[in-house]
Amino acid sequence: MYKWEEKDGHIIIYNLTNFDPFHTFHCGQCFRWNRLPNGHWLGVAYGLALDLEWDGKNMILYHTTPEQFLHIWHPYFDLGRDYGDLKAKLSQNDSVMAEAIRFGQGVRLLKQDFNEVAISFLISQNNGIPRIRKIIESLSAAFGRPIEHESGTCYAFPDPKRLSELTLEDLEVIRAGYRDKYIYRASRQLYSGEVNMDIVLGPDKESSRQEMLKLFGVGEKVADCILLFSGARTDIFPVDRWVKRVMAELYLGHEASYEELNDFAQKHFGGLAGFAQQYLFYYARENKIGM
DNA sequence: CCACAGGACGGCT
DNA sequence: AGCCGTCCTGTG
């Protein structure tokens, strides 16, 4: 599908299609990528900091080894998936989706760390993106492992053990508001293994969701975000205000409940519902659909 | 000063 | 099962 090589300590992926970091980092799935003054992107994931350059055709991952690329970044950027095929299937007999895909052609579904996604989306509730990013950054800076990088010190997202040791008092510095109690309890639940990952990753969607709902502070919407953005499932359709609006305006013609939208998505998009959600979110938010 | 933001909890009916 | 007041904090 594409060729890659290691060169001077960097990894270069040539002629990568169906990718654009701006699209991928702005479709609501991640919070820890920033644009650098030189146009590169700096992100933190899986305890690593990554300097990424995109020239519209090739992707350069600076200071990365082939091992790291194959074990972490290849799955992270979902490079093994045929997005051309997936787009064709979603676009068939659906002019709305075809347009959304044309607009966000570079969206990819990132495979992110389960615990990080769980805590991050728990924080996201009733909050805007800038504040979500701020809180996650504070949490990492205060309790995560420092990662030295030429553009400054980055901080890894704290691991489950570290999170489970934090007191409510410790958490005050991140200014999460009432969500600190959710972080406190959910972290302990995650570290203790209360969430059965065999069920989460199992074949039955409803069982996966029920398993996520065990976490204190996690409701229907956040449960779906965690399942989709950790790569546990792709047949999930999280509905936030943007998706709600774009569905009402371009598909249904009326405001619909979470359940109705999920039923529609399952029938209409099937196992690709998660990708459909990402294209629709990006399309709706960038074009301010419904505002 | 008030409304509301990429929701969820807990108590009520 | 469904409704609704309440929850921290920042921004407009």
Domains of chain A, with CATH numbers? 3-80 (3.30.310.260), 114-229 (1.10.340.30), 241-287 (1.10.1670.10)
Whether the model clears a pTM of 0.85, i.e. scores above it, the answer is: yes
H helical segments located in A125-272: 129-143, 160-165, 168-171, 179-191, 197-200, 205-212, 220-229, 241-247, 258-269
Residues in chain A: 291
pLDDT score for A269:
97
Is the CB atom of residue A130 positioned under 7 angstroms from any atom of strand C?
yes
Is the CB atom of residue A219 positioned under 7 angstroms from any atom of strand C?
no
pLDDT band at A30 (very low <50, low <70, confident <90, very high): very high
Let me know if A46 is exposed, middle or buried by CB neighbors in 10 A (0-12, 13-18, 19+).
middle
Is the CB atom of residue A123 positioned under 7 angstroms from any atom of strand B?
no
User: What gap in Å lies between CA A135 and CA A141, rounded to an integer?
Assistant: 10
pLDDT score for A4:
98
pLDDT score for A150:
87
Of all nucleotides, the one whose C1′ comes closest to residue A243's CA is B6
Of all nucleotides, the one whose C1′ comes closest to residue A132's CA is B6
Report whether pLDDT(A139) > 80. Answer: yes
Tell me, what DSSP letter sits at residue A249? Answer: I
pLDDT score for A290:
78
pLDDT score for A289:
86
- The CA–C1' separation of A130 and C12, in angstroms, is 14
Average the pLDDT over A43-62 and give the result: 98
Are A163 and A99 within 8 A, CB to CB? no
H helical segments located in A83-128: 83-91, 95-103, 114-124
At A147-159, the pLDDT tens digits run 999 888 999 999 9
Strand pairing report for A33-35 and A152-155: unpaired
User: What gap in Å lies between CA A224 and CA A274, rounded to an integer?
Assistant: 10
pLDDT band at A109 (very low <50, low <70, confident <90, very high): very high
